[in-house]
Amino acid sequence: MANYELIPFSTAEELSRAAASAWLDEIELANRAGKTHCVALSGGRIAQKFFTATVEQGRARTVSFAQVHFFWADERCVPPTDAESNFKLAQELLLAPLDIADHQIHRLRGEWPSAEAFTAAIAELASIVPVNPAGQPMFDLIFLGLGEDGHVASLFPGSPREVTVGTAPFLAVNDSPKPPPSRISLSYSALAAAGQVWVLAAGAGKEKVLRESLTDQSVTPLARVLRSRRHTKIFAETGKINL
């Protein structure tokens, strides 16, 4: 029994619209239940399309985002005003257009030394995101992109064992093959503990690594995440990823 659901799309735009619609459904469910919705965002090209689609549909459906708390799956170690910042990307394409209040935004402070950034991030998490018995934050939903090498968040292939089995919720990455080199990332343990993880796999060059990640023996970062969870949704642009 596969522990993932792969949903195929012919274009990145179609994928983004469907993921946005499904996320808004989740937010409305939480609103109806009077619950907060704690989400962690990723960066990348598909995130841009996804954020834009979310704003468009969220406005049309008059969805309330008042109970949504925004965190990040990873952040580059740059100032929040830097063009490389995942926070800046979300701020411009999602948070500002939706007029999200500051108290709902919990960016990772990539510009700080990692130990201080982790301390701040864990303190913010602790006040909002429930933790499981192992002390892992249980985000309601984490969005991941997929890199051409199978990376998700800033978890890259070939990580040392302390990365793949570490129990801390955040990791410092200093040798990212995808620039910039220094990043902060949620750990495999934190991804495993989330209520839901949705992977938005779009763009040329992803076919081989996605196909590989779906095999039992794979050790790609995506494969590790899939094996660590009972269920993961994969929105795949199969128009470019000929599965």
Interface residues with ligand 6PG (CB under 6 A) are 42-46, 74, 86, 145-147, 151-154, 178, 202-203
Q: Which is nearer to ligand 6PG, 176 or 189 (CB)?
A: 176
The CA distance from 35 to 30, in Å, is: 5
Least separation, in Å, of the C-beta of 89 and ligand 6PG?
9
* Both tokens assigned to 105: 């935004």
Q: How many CA atoms lie within 13 A of 88 on its CB side?
A: 12
Least separation, in Å, of the C-beta of 130 and ligand 6PG?
24
Q: Which is nearer to ligand 6PG, 27 or 46 (CB)?
A: 46
Cβ neighbours of residue 157 closer than 8 Å, sequence gap 6 or more: 149, 150, 151, 219, 220, 221
| DSSP-assigned letter for residue 63 | -
Sole residue written with tokens 């274009």: 11
Cβ neighbours of residue 217 closer than 8 Å, sequence gap 6 or more: none
Q: Which is nearer to ligand 6PG, 74 or 140 (CB)?
A: 74
Least separation, in Å, of the C-beta of 197 and ligand 6PG?
13
Give the number of other Cβ atoms within 10 Å of residue 18's Cβ. 16
| Residue showing the smallest CB distance to ligand 6PG in the complex | 145
Q: Which is nearer to ligand 6PG, 11 or 67 (CB)?
A: 11
Least separation, in Å, of the C-beta of 35 and ligand 6PG?
26
